[in-house]
Chain A
Amino acid sequence: MSGSSRRDAPVSKPLARKTAAARPARVRRDLAPHRVVIPSTVWRFLARFALASIPLFAVWELWGRAPYLNALARLFAVTARLAGFDLQVTSTSAEELHFALGDIGWSNRFGMTAVNTIALAGLLLATGGVSWRRRARMLVLGLGLLGLTHVIGLWTDILHVHLHTRARALADGVRALATGFGTFLFPLLIWAYLLRDRIAAFRMRSS
């Protein structure tokens, strides 16, 4: 992609005209800065993301989802009990988690949230210029951090139980932020944080 820097560099009009005689095709592109040319590295990134995430998603759906949700529910229950809440895991499946807190029971369709593990894994695997050793380390660390956000997401259920009669809009909002919007926000944040040197280098060259 060495040509891209030349293509995108600011070219004064007289210089562009002068260069046009020698290389008309290249300069024609220089003179049309409004045209959106998607660099091949970006296409490669998207292709690698799809190549990594599609098989991972299949594995997740067939074997990963139900055990992960079950483990997540148990971990959440442990943290809740440590905080003094008598929370019970009623049942778990690949779709829903069922909890009981005192005489209040609820279900959570957490499978839609937890699938962002595949998105994060796809982003980490698709980013180029990273050694496989570092990539493996980032995967372990990233998925651990994302698991933590899932536990926090489940904690908003407890907040919801306490607030739903008094401040329902706030309770719904916090829950939507953690488990709806967070589904997209957290993988992107963790990816940007773990590979921040790649993004910093990118930013420096861009500015």
Chain B
Amino acid sequence: MRRPATIAGERREGAGSPSMRRFAALFIGCSVVLFALYWISEALHGFRYVNTAHARATAAALQGLGIDAHASGTSIILSHGVLEIVAECTGIYVLILFTAGVIAFPADLRTQIRGLALGLPCIVALNFVRLLSLGLVLHVRPTWLPWFHEYLWQVLFVGLVATLFAVWVTRIGGKHERLVAP
């Protein structure tokens, strides 16, 4: 089979190059280390404060939208059901992946810090919108909740983290045609 078109020198310097392998190894290493740090906080019950804060903020925002909702610990209680905020609901996995990607990518420290400073709040905000939308769905059409929960959380967030990473790299590189070329 004919190999896909590549730019000059890509085969030598690109796909299997030491720098790509270094990026891959760093990305996996950083992901695992950051996950381990998160898991230690989870095992020590330190992360439940983050879950509680998310529950409170989401309940407050739902109240602001005129929905009868209140937080009790890590639960958001609505008239049609309860949303339980666990660690995964805070977007921690996506935050870890984005951080690992930025750290592993060959860029200078200042650019990496800028990437994290812009990307991480963006992910937190998107996740908050997701939680809010789940609260709205539970209020309006509870039977749709499993669909929205799985699609918005599992599927769309994988696409979003890839997209956010692409945005950051295009901002530092300036040429982005090859990643998501039409």
Contacts and interface: CB of A to CB of B under 8 A. Distances in A.
B167 A36 contact: yes
Contact of A4 (B14, B154, B174): B174
Interface stretch (A43-51, A80-88, A98-106, A151-159): A43-51
Given A44-B180, A188-B161, A8 B174 contact: yes
B180 A183 contact: no
A92 interface: no
B181 A128 contact: yes
B106 interface: yes
Contact of A185 (B88, B97, B154, B181): B97
Interface string B164-182: 0011011111111111111
B158 A200 contact: no
A56 B136 CA distance: 24
Contacts of B43: 169, 172-173
Contacts of B151: 53-54, 57
Contact of A180 (B17, B88, B162, B163): B88
Interface residues of A, number: 65
B20 interface: yes
A181 to B, nearest CB: 5
Interface in A52-100: 53-54, 57, 61
Interface in A147-191: 169, 172-173, 176-177, 180-181, 183-185, 187-189, 191
Contact of A183 (B28, B93, B167): B93
Contacts of B39: 169, 173, 176-177
A131 B1 CA distance: 12
Contacts of B96: 181
B147 A201 contact: no
A161 to B, nearest CB: 19
Nearest to A45: B180
A188 B182 contact: no
Interface in A120-139: 120, 122-123, 126-131, 133-134
A58 B179 CA distance: 27
Interface stretch (B2-10, B48-56, B65-73): B2-10
A12 B29 CA distance: 38
Nearest to A10: B174
A39 B170 contact: yes
Contacts of B14: 196-197, 200-201, 203-204
A15 interface: no
Interface string B120-157: 00000000000000000000000000010011001111
B8 to A, nearest CB: 10
Interface of B: 1, 4-7, 9-11, 13-17, 19-20, 23-24, 28, 31-32, 35-36, 39, 42-43, 88, 93-94, 96-97, 105-106, 118, 147, 150-151, 154-163, 166-167, 169-182
Closest 7 CB pairs of A and B: A206-B173, A200-B14, A8-B174, A129-B181, A45-B180, A119-B158, A201-B178
Interface of A: 1, 4-5, 7-9, 36, 38-39, 41-42, 44-46, 49-50, 53-54, 57, 61, 111-112, 115-116, 118-120, 122-123, 126-131, 133-134, 169, 172-173, 176-177, 180-181, 183-185, 187-189, 191-193, 196-207
